[in-house]
Amino acid sequence: MSRSDAAGRARVVGIMSGTSSDGADAAVVEIDRAGARRSTQLLAFASRPYSDELRRRVLGAQEGTLPLRDLFRVHVEVAEIASAAARAALDAAPPGPPPEVVGYHGQTVFHDPHGERSGKRVTVQIGEPAVLAAALGIPVVSGFRMADLLAGGEGAPLVPRFDYHQLASDTSDRVLLNLGGIANLTRLRAGGRLEETLAFDCGPGNMLLDGIVGAVGPAGARYDAEGALAAGGRAAEDVVRYFLSEPFFARTPPKSAGREEFGAGYLSRFLARTEGLSLRDRLRTACALTAAAVARGVEQSGKGRPDEVYVSGGGANNATLVQDIAACLRVPVAGTEALGVPSEAKEAMAFAFLAFESICCRAGNVPSATGAAREVVLGSITPPPSPRRGGC
């Protein structure tokens, strides 16, 4: 299915919509076709936000309150936003061959890897891939997580294979921390093998912080820009200890989480527990909770303190949150920009890489991270609707 080029690199598009549920990020990249470690180079990046109304309905889908017919509509609408983000990134990319494939994560609305809520091991990402295939004229790989679940895994995290190829070091023990709606980490030992890579969700992130702002912050505000409000607050350490004592944080990896763990119900409990505190103190307490959860996660990722920590995701722009994490870890913390990967583009780049692995029939999961019994090829392929003369 792949076409060769003189440079031995493939052009691919990756699109990510995370648990913050605020829009779609798209990256156009070039990926090495072969090698023990294959690098990914970012060519262009673009984002397109969800409207307030669409975000409200996406959150309703995640909380299980959106009517089914509305869910079908949202399934198409989020794909339209993803298509717009991809088209913007393609328009910004330098001239070159057409992309070989699009990797589209979709918008997670339900994640139940152990069947505790539904009675079945299932994960659901909405966003109709046929919408992208028709709009872009490129094959689309989507539905990445289910194959790992069927192999006994959590279906998450899937970014560690990209992390290993792109960011592992022969000399430094690194933690790659993604501060999205959920905080998750990848531990890459110096000179370690892929099968030794550990990664897992470690606690709340922007989902809690943004929820606080949306519930009790200034009218119309979605988030605490750069952590400015939290910077003027004081953390309630008793609240941090209370939430950190909950079972999720004591569970040993592999483990994954979503809005089922840290969504509306969690926010309600946090607001009730912090009643009487100012907005600034509530936000600083949430920062301290995330930082403590990250520190607990780093402890669970293996013996010894890492040499370096690199952050990505929207939370990397929250200076107060990053400061609190650095204070907890007592390790230098920097953005993944220091390693040549823009923090806001990292996950979109990762799903471009995973899509290319899929069309090459190579495994995309890392069993030591997800808990799967074996490596598997991820996702389903949706071809573009226009037939080619002579076929594929």
Sole residue written with tokens 């004229």 = 137
pLDDT at 5: 58
The C-alpha atoms of residue 236 and residue 225 are separated, in whole angstroms, by 21
The C-alpha atoms of residue 11 and residue 32 are separated, in whole angstroms, by 9
Answer yes or no: is 298 within a domain: yes
Answer yes or no: is 231 within a domain: yes
Q: 148 CB contacts (<8 Å, ≥6 apart)? A: 154, 155, 156, 158, 365, 370, 372, 376, 378
Sole residue written with tokens 């152990």 = 114
Task: Render pLDDT for 96-139 as a digit per residue (tens, 0 to 9).
Answer: 999 999 999 999 999 999 999 999 999 999 999 999 999 999 99
Segment 375-390 shows an average pLDDT of 92
pLDDT at 4: 44
pLDDT at 100: 98
* Residue 20 in this model has a pLDDT that exceeds 90: no
Token duo for residue 355: 């899509």
Residues 313 and 351 placed together within one structural domain of the fold:
no
Task: Answer left, alpha or beta for residue 358, where phi above 0 means left and psi between -120 and 50 means alpha.
Answer: alpha
Answer yes or no: is 2 within a domain: no
Answer yes or no: is 3 within a domain: no
The torsion angles phi and psi of 261, rounded to 5 degrees, stand at -90, -40
Query: What are the beta bridge partners of residue 125?
Result: 108
Task: Render pLDDT for 170-211 as a digit per residue (tens, 0 to 9).
Answer: 999 999 999 999 999 999 999 999 999 999 999 999 999 999
Residues 147 and 199 placed together within one structural domain of the fold:
no
> Percent of the chain, pLDDT > 70?
98
CATH number of residue 72's parent domain? 3.30.420.40
Residues 186 and 85 placed together within one structural domain of the fold:
no
The C-alpha atoms of residue 141 and residue 380 are separated, in whole angstroms, by 5
pLDDT band at 19 (very low <50, low <70, confident <90, very high): confident
* Residue 3 in this model has a pLDDT that exceeds 70: no
pLDDT at 392: 63
Other Cβ atoms closer than 10 A to 280? 16
Task: Render pLDDT for 316-352 as a digit per residue (tens, 0 to 9).
Answer: 999 999 999 999 999 989 999 999 999 999 999 999 9
* Residue 363 in this model has a pLDDT that exceeds 90: yes
Token duo for residue 233: 């607050």
Residues 203 and 333 placed together within one structural domain of the fold:
yes
Q: 386 CB contacts (<8 Å, ≥6 apart)? A: 137
Answer yes or no: is 4 within a domain: no
* Residue 308 in this model has a pLDDT that exceeds 70: yes
Residues 188 and 319 placed together within one structural domain of the fold:
yes
Segment 257-273 shows an average pLDDT of 94
Segment 294-322 shows an average pLDDT of 96
Residues 39 and 135 placed together within one structural domain of the fold:
yes
Q: Could you give the angle at the alpha carbon of 156 between the alpha carbons of 223 and 254, nearest 5°?
A: 110
Answer yes or no: is 117 within a domain: yes
Which helix (H) or strand (E) segment is 24 a member of? Answer: strand 23-32
Q: What is the pTM of this model?
A: 0.94
Q: How many domains does the chain have?
A: 2
The range of the structural domain enclosing residue 269 comes to 160-339
Residues 169 and 222 placed together within one structural domain of the fold:
yes
Answer yes or no: is 389 within a domain: no
Distances (CA, A) of 383 to 9, 64, 130, 133: 21, 31, 8, 6
Residue 183 burial (CB < 10 Å; 0-12/13-18/19+)? buried
Query: Which range among 27-31, 111-115, 258-262 shows the weakest confidence by mean pLDDT?
Result: 258-262
Residues 291 and 235 placed together within one structural domain of the fold:
yes
The torsion defined by the Cα of 347, 325, 221 and 54, in degrees rounded to 10, comes to: 30
Token duo for residue 321: 């949150």
Query: What are the beta bridge partners of residue 191?
Result: none
The C-alpha atoms of residue 62 and residue 21 are separated, in whole angstroms, by 9
Residues 225 and 319 placed together within one structural domain of the fold:
yes
Segment 286-315 shows an average pLDDT of 96
Token duo for residue 251: 């569970």
pLDDT band at 389 (very low <50, low <70, confident <90, very high): confident
DSSP type of residue 245: T
Of 326, 330, 333, the C-alpha closest to 308 is 333
Residues 253 and 365 placed together within one structural domain of the fold:
no
Answer yes or no: is 387 within a domain: no
Task: Render pLDDT for 229-239 as a digit per residue (tens, 0 to 9).
Answer: 999 999 999 99
pLDDT at 6: 44
Residues 363 and 294 placed together within one structural domain of the fold:
no
Residues 119 and 181 placed together within one structural domain of the fold:
no
pLDDT at 7: 61
Mean pLDDT across the chain: 95
